[in-house]
Amino acid sequence: MIQFLLNDQLITLEQIDTNTTVLDYLRLHRQQTGTKEGCASGDCGACTVVLGELNEAQTGLQYRAINSCITLLGALQGKQLITVECLAGERLHPVQQTMVDCHGSQCGFCTPGFVMSLFAMWKQQPKPSHEHIDLALGGNLCRCTGYQPIIKAAQALGEYATDDTFSANAQTTRQALKALQPASHLALSYQQQQYFLPHTRAELAELCLHYPDARLVAGSTDLALEITQNLKELPCLIGVNQVQDMQQLDVLAEKIIIGAARPYSDCMEVIHTYYPAFAAMMQRLGSTQIRNQGTFGGNIGTASPIGDTLPVLLALNAEVELQKGEHIRLVNLNDYFTGYRKTVLEKGEFIAAVHIPRLQAQQVLMVDKVSKRFDDDISAVCAAWVLTLNNNVIECARSGYGGMAATPARALNAEQALIGKPLDHTTIQAAQQALAHDFKPMSDVRASSWYRMMVAQNLLERMSLSVHQPA
């Protein structure tokens, strides 16, 4: 059984197709058709809804936009699901009124999604900057307006009321959320299907051993596409988002440990503090909706050659913490990938956390991503380098490249070409040439092999131009 609030209504679900997306639940099961389907793949934002939940300190509420089309019902446990139909009280909500006043809708099909993204943003930033707006709305596509009136609507928000029914009802909502029962171990089931929601790593470990063929669900931003695009039925699912001891974010003296189930959005602050170049790239990983759901565990779990965190983690010499039963092991990410979407992860084993070494005083981290479109696009090439510099001499160089091979991979030849050399134009040129021996990238819908190689080489130059020598 799971419990959540649908707007203000308490919902308990038990017997329901466990592969149902939140979007289909709203549209087909509850006939709430205000939320739209534009793509069913997380790319357009038409299906955006907001999840309200108690913040980490349990003192206040936080609101996050997600794509309902790639979210499974298990993710709703303990949350308030807010949909476009329920924003307005007696009057339109400020985010709705500003959209009307600024002519922010034309055909209107994208509008409910924009309204919900605006709502989540406004709850955090009642007076958003241009940067906030671009970030908050980067995952919402509009084919009609060219965005200009929507940007104006968002910029005008400061002129509207600063409270709404949600703030007025905050007290009751908090109580209602606290009163929700925790999910039962077998949260949802239907015919042969099962959806488990363990609460601890120990429970998870046991389930994984017991159901070695089960699929783990973290943010489901990758997994759900198997359902909505490939029409697969996933009979046994184990959700990790209730596993409290996989949500940690520990900043230790020599490393930072991030729980595999922690959404990107909850990591951004720390990453920004300790690895600013990484944070800058992560702002372009998917969209706000994707980052509110997606996790490091999921990114490593897909083992995709275009997973954006992976080159960075490689360059940073990160380790993954794997657990099978009670056995825990640490594997260097470099040894983790064995082939195209193949890893050393065993049946019944899962990713518990990622351990990222902290940068030394002499180290610089450089990260860059090139894609066709700036917002919400998969990389043609993603590159990361950690250089250890001593008096402008590169003592140590470690890299990670995405999009260049069947797995995220280091550019070993290029690394060698840098080590022991001064950081200057000649050295970079030598490394660029060496890089040509590291990879034979392929051509696909995103870029040609030629372009990938050219960019991979040139990024080295571009990144080196931006290096600020550590003092």
Partner 1 sequence: MKQGHAGQAIPHDSAIRHVSGTARYVDDIPLPLNTLHAMVGTSTCAAGHITQLDLSAVKSSAGVKAVLTLDDVTGHKDIGPVFPGDPLLSTGEILFYGQPIFVVAADTYQNARRAARKAKIEYTPQTPLLDVKQALHQQRFVRPTHIFGQGNAQAAIQAAPIQLHGEQYIGGQEHFYLEGQVSLALPTEEGVMVYSSTQHPSELQKLVAEVLHLPIHAVTVEMRRMGGGFGGKETQAAQWACLAALLALKTQQAVKLRLPRADDMSLTGKRHPFWNQYTLGCDEEGKILGAMIQVVGECGYSPDLSDAIVDRAMFHSDNAYYLPNAHIVGQRCFTNTVSHTAFRGFGGPQGMMIIEQAMDDIARRVGKDPLDIRKLNLYQEQQTTPYGQTIEYFVLPSIIEQLEYSSDYWQRREGIKLFNQTASHVKKGLALTPVKFGISFTAQHLNQAGALIHIYTDGSIHLNHGGTEMGQGLNIKVAQVVATEFGVDIERVLISATRTDKVPNTSPTAASSGTDLNGKAAQQAAQILKARIAECIATEYQVPVESVEFVNNQVRYLGGALSFAEVANLAYLHRVSLSSTGYYKTPLIHYDRKAGKGRPFFYYAMGAAVSEVQIDTLTGEYKVLRVDILHDVGTSLNPAVDQGQIEGGFIQGMGWLTTEELMWNQEGRLLSTSPATYKIPAISDTPPVFNVALLKDHPNGVATIYHSKAVGEPPFMLAISVWSALRDAISSLSHYKMSPRLDTPATPERVLRAVLESRAHNP
Ligand X SMILES: Cc1cc2nc3c(=O)[nH]c(=O)nc-3n(C[C@H](O)[C@H](O)[C@H](O)COP(=O)(O)OP(=O)(O)OC[C@H]3O[C@@H](n4cnc5c(N)ncnc54)[C@H](O)[C@@H]3O)c2cc1C
Of 328-387, which residues contact partner 1 (CB under 8 A)? 370, 372-378, 380
**Closest distance to ligand FES from the beta carbon of 109 (Å):** 5
Q: Please identify, among the stretches 135-143, 183-191, 296-304, 393-401, the one whose residues bind partner 1 according to the rule CB under 8 A.
A: 135-143
| Window 60-119: residues binding ligand FES (CB under 6 A) | 67, 69, 105-111
Strand 327-332 to 363-370 pairing: unpaired
Residue 151 within binding range of ligand FES, rule CB under 6 A: no
Nearer residue to ligand X within complex by CB, 3 or 299 = 299
φ, ψ dihedrals at 95, nearest 5°? -70, -25
218 binds, among ligand FES, partner 1, ligand X, none (CB under 5 to 8 A by kind): ligand X
The tokens describing 49, both together, are 């809804």
Cβ proximity to ligand FES: between 67 and 371 the closer is 67
Among the listed ranges 92-100, 160-168, 242-250, 251-259, the one in contact with partner 1 (CB under 8 A) is: 92-100
Any idea what the Cα angle at residue 197 is, between residues 191 and 199, rounded to 5°? 155
Q: Which is nearer to ligand X, 383 or 397 (CB)?
A: 383
- 37 touching ligand FES, by CB under 6 A: yes
DSSP result, 194-210 = EEE--SSHHHHHHHHHH
Please identify which residue in the block is written with the tokens 């909850």: 266
CB of 105 vs ligand FES, minimal distance in Å? 5
**Residue 346 backbone phi and psi in degrees, to 5:** -90, 165
DSSP symbol at 57: T
Question: Is the distance from CB of 411 to CB of 438 less than 8 angstroms?
Answer: yes
Helix (H) or strand (E) holding 451: helix 449-465
146 touches ligand FES (CB under 6 A): no
Between 142 and 322, name the residue whose CB sits nearer to ligand FES.
Answer: 142
Distance CA 425, CA 327 (A): 48
Closest CA to 2 of 241, 200, 311, 202: 241
46 lies in the site for ligand FES, by CB under 6 A: yes
Residue closer to ligand X, measured from CB, 94 or 403? 403
Residue spans of alpha helices (H) in 350-437: 412-418, 425-435
Among positions 83, 220, 292, 427, the unique one binding partner 1 when judged by CB under 8 A: 83
Taking the complex as a whole, how short is the minimal distance between the CB of residue 169 and ligand X, in angstroms?
A: 30
Q: At what angle do helices 130-137 and 111-124 cross, to 10 degrees?
A: 130
Q: Least distance from C-beta 331 to ligand X, angstroms?
A: 13
Q: Which is nearer to ligand X, 43 or 164 (CB)?
A: 43
What is the token pair recorded at 419? 């080590």
Tell me how far apart the alpha carbons of residues 429 and 427 are, in angstroms, rounded to a whole number. Answer: 5
| Cβ 190 to ligand FES shortest distance, Å | 23
**Is residue 304 near ligand FES by the rule CB under 6 A?**
no
Binding site for ligand X (CB under 6 A): 42-43, 70, 215-223, 240, 260, 285-286, 290, 293-295, 297-299, 301-302, 307-308, 350-351, 376, 378
Contact yes or no for 275/316 (Cβ under 8 A): yes
Task: Answer positive or negative: Cα dihedral of 207, 209, 214, 217.
Answer: positive
Based on the shown chain and the rule CB under 6 A, indicate whether residue 38 belongs to the binding site for ligand FES. yes
Binding residues (CB under 6 A) for ligand FES: these are 37-40, 42-47, 67, 69, 105-111, 142-145
